Structure formats: C-alpha cells, structure tokens
Amino acid sequence: MPTGDQPRYDRPIFEGGQESSRPDPGRASGPRRRRVRLGHQGRLLLFTVAFLAVLVSAAYFALRPQAEEVYLDSYQVAEVGVRAFRVLVQGDGAVEPAEIRALTAPLEARVSEVHARPGDDVNAGALLVRLESRELEDDLASARSSAAQLELELQRAEISLTRDLERLEADLSRAASSRQEAEAAVGKTEALFEAGAIPLDQVEEARSKAADARTAETQAERALATGREDARLQRELARAKLASARAEVARLEREAAALEVRAPLSGRVLEGEWTVGEPVEAGVELFRLADLSTQYARIQVPARQASQLRVGQEASLFVEGRRLAGTVGFVAPVARQTEQGTVVEVRVSLPDEATARSIRPFAPLSAEVEVDRLEDQPYLARGPFYTSGEGGFVFKVSEDGTRAVRTEVRYGLVDGTALQILDGLEPGDRIIYSSYTGFRDRTEVRLAPEGGRPT
C-alpha cells in the first residue's frame, strides 16, 4: 500500500476530476460537467510509442540500401542543331468526287442483263444493266397495232375523200358548161326573135334554162366547198388520232429504251450489285456513278488554325503512299462540332484530271498547308529519348562527357522528325539520344566518354 509521496500505479489511464463540495456562488445551480484528463500511465504510453517510432525511422534511413549509380558505356548522342521550321496547318480528310450520279429504275421491272459492277470504270453511254417488263412489252405492242390501224384508216379516208372531191369537181365542171351553153342559147334566141324568126315564148324559155343552169352551177360550187371542208375536217380528225397513237408509241418506246440503263458520264461505279432475274421497283436506286475527273480533297482543320488559311495557298496532300501538290480552293465560313473537336472544312483541288482519276474515291488522306516559316530555330531529331522521356526532359551531356544531367525541356513545332526547342537547351548542347528506360527516374548518370556514338 503506497504511502507518502510514493507514486501509485493502480490509477486508471483516464481520471475523472474530483468535484468540489463547496458551492460556487457564481455558478448556476444544476448538474456539473465531468472533465476527463490523461493520467500518468497514459502519458507514459504515448511517450513510449513516439520514441519507438523515431527509433524505427532512424534505423530505416540508416540501414536502407543506397541506390546504385547508373553507368552507361554504350549510348547514342545527339547535338542540338539549328534549322528553319515551317508553320503548318494540318488536317485529315478524304478524296471525294464533286459529281456523283444516282441512277434509278424507271418502272417496276426485272433484271435481264448485267454489264457493270461496283469498281468498274465505264464510258459515257455504256450499258450498265438491261431491265425487262412484260406489261410494258404488251402495252407497246398494242399501241403499235393501234397506230398501224389508224394509219391504214387515214390512207383509206384519203382515197375516199379524194374520190368524192373529184366527183364534186366534175359536177361543178358540168354545171359550168351547162350554164355557158344556156347563156349562149339565150343570145341566139334573142337574135332570132329580133329578126322575127321565132316567137317571144321561145326567148323566155331560153332565158329560164340559163337561170336554172346558173343556179345549178352555184349549187355545185357550194357542194364542192362543203365537200372540201368535210374532207379537211375528216383528215384532221384522222391525223390527230394517228398522231396521238404515235405519241403513245413513242412514250412507251422511251420507257422501253429507259430499261437499258446507261452511264450518263464517264466514271467509276460506286454502288450497284445486281443479278439476272432480280426484281426491281420503280424509283429504286440501281447505281451510283462518280466522275473521277472532278475529285478533290476535303479535309478538316482545327477551327483555331482556320483563320491562317486563304484561297490559293499551296498545299501538300499525302494519299495512297504519294505526296501530291494541291491548292486551297475553299475555306468554310462556319465551324462545326465533331467528336474530334471544333473543326472547319477545307477543300483542296488536285493537280490535274489525270491525277484525280488515279486516286480511289473516298481514299483517306492527310494534308498540310505552310502558312509561315521560322528561321534559325534550335532543334533535335525525334528519337527514343522523346518517348521514354515523356516529351518533358532529356539527359544533357556535360562538357567533359563524363556525366549527363536530367534537364527539363519545352518543345514547340514539329516538322517531320524535327522537334523545335523552345526552352532548356541551346544550339551545340548534346543529349543522350538513346532510350531512357532503366534510369528515367535518376537526376544524373555517369558516362563512359568513349561509349557515346553519334546519331
């Protein structure tokens, strides 16, 4: 049992404060808050834990293995040079025909012959496919028969009308002769009457016959005029019927001719795969034909760079393993949003028709337009160091060639394999060109001067 000032170890770690039995006149009556404080054993425990942590940390840093120094005895070295950099606006796109024709079926029919398939080059007027329609064939045969019948009827009517008119003309001729004879007889009878050779009633009889002859002539003239008018109307009616029948034949013949689907221009068949006997509906698309001579390059460039482009600027196109010269022909006045960001459409013309015809329609391509040129810029050739250094640092070789120090670098333009140096290196500086894999986390590496090989 502890006595006097001897410490007590049976106390709890956390002790409750003793409550004073004396009333505090300045404190409101009511339940008092119980305070908890750290006891002697608690303070001793915390001190022990902290002390052990310090010991463990010191032992770790004192006993941990030191990082081995990196020593390179075989590596490549590149020197920062100076060159001009082209300021380029670049974009991707495709070669597209300016003119594409869609050929459709003129009516419901069936495929009877196939002469072209996708990928074929055809000349204007070439037969692509022949269709057949039994209904059209029957209608055309009937129309031709009707036209032939009407033509025969018109020929018969011409014969009949000509005969009738000839008869009426003969009647008029006889009436005219009778009138002339009657008038001559009147003159003779009047002369005989004046001579007293005949009585007056014979003169009156002659005069009456002359009047009847004139009336008959007038009636014959009217009959001929009426006959001619009737003949004209009958001819016009028969000819109109025949013309209508011939027009129907011509219409059906045009439809029959349209069943021979021909190329409206020289070009390449893009779409249209058909088999003999396959039915087609009226208006269905049979072929898509592209005029390759009108092809151009349509590319998309970042909207932020489009303001640097002008119509007439020279462009370089890279398509199907070739580099072609082109000319900017159109820069869209508006931008549009795509999955790749905000872009502006640019159209670039190809050098000539022969080149345009030699490229497959819709072949992918890339393009670049030089809009400026920066002279005397420090640069490095892109190499393994760029990828392994994540494009942010290099190992710069010391002047004596015995070590290389990690150096932060900021790049600018990229022109082919050349990287413009904006900050971190100067012309004449040398760097380790080979890969940094294995020591990329180091700040410095040792070098064997004789192990460095130029790129």
Tens of pLDDT, residues 302-349: 999 999 999 999 999 999 999 999 999 999 999 999 998 999 999 999
Residue 425 DSSP label: -
pLDDT given at position 56: 72
Report how many helices (DSSP H) and strands (DSSP E) the chain contains, helices first.
6, 26
Q: What is the DSSP string of 257-298?
A: HHTEEE-SSSEEEEE----TT-EE-TT-EEEEEE-GGG-EEE
Find out whether 296 and 362 touch, Cβ atoms under 8 Å.
no
Q: Tens of pLDDT along 165-200?
A: 999 999 999 999 999 999 999 999 999 989 888 899
CA-CA distances (angstroms) from residue 418 to 78, 346, 378? 12, 26, 10
The span from the CA of 344 to the CA of 300, in Å, is: 6
CA-CA distances (angstroms) from residue 290 to 56, 126, 294, 303? 80, 14, 9, 30
The span from the CA of 405 to the CA of 3, in Å, is: 71
Name the residue with higher pLDDT: 385 or 49. Answer: 385
pLDDT given at position 145: 96
Find out whether 265 and 89 touch, Cβ atoms under 8 Å.
no
Length of the chain measured in residues: 455
Helix (H) or strand (E) holding 337: strand 336-338
The span from the CA of 162 to the CA of 206, in Å, is: 36
The span from the CA of 441 to the CA of 451, in Å, is: 22
- 134-258 maps to which CATH number? 1.10.287
Q: Where are the domains of the chain?
A: 71-85+375-454, 89-96+294-373, 105-130+260-290, 134-258
- Predicted confidence band at 62 (pLDDT cuts at 50, 70, 90)? low
Which residue carries 């050779």 as its tokens? 197
The span from the CA of 144 to the CA of 192, in Å, is: 72
Burial category of 346 from C-beta neighbours within 10 Å (exposed 0-12, middle 13-18, buried 19 and up): buried
Residue 280 structure tokens: 């087609």
Four-way CATH pick for 105-130+260-290: 3.90.226.10, 2.40.50.100, 3.90.550.10, 2.60.40.10: 2.40.50.100
In angstroms, how far is CA 65 from the centroid of its own chain?
A: 65
Segment 51-61 shows an average pLDDT of: 69
- 89-96+294-373 maps to which CATH number? 2.40.30.170
Q: What is the CA radius of gyration of the chain?
A: 57
pLDDT at residue 23 is higher than 90: no
Per DSSP, helices labelled H in 322-427 are 353-357, 384-388
Closest CA to 297 of 443, 50, 91: 91
Backbone φ and ψ for 211, nearest 5 degrees, come out as -65, -45
Q: Average per-residue pLDDT in the chain? A: 88
Name beta bridge partners: 411. Answer: 421
pLDDT at residue 284 is higher than 80: yes
Specify the pairing of strand 444-447 against strand 71-72: parallel
The span from the CA of 282 to the CA of 285, in Å, is: 9
Specify the pairing of strand 109-114 against strand 279-280: antiparallel
Domain 71-85+375-454 has CATH 2.40.420.20: yes
pLDDT given at position 15: 46
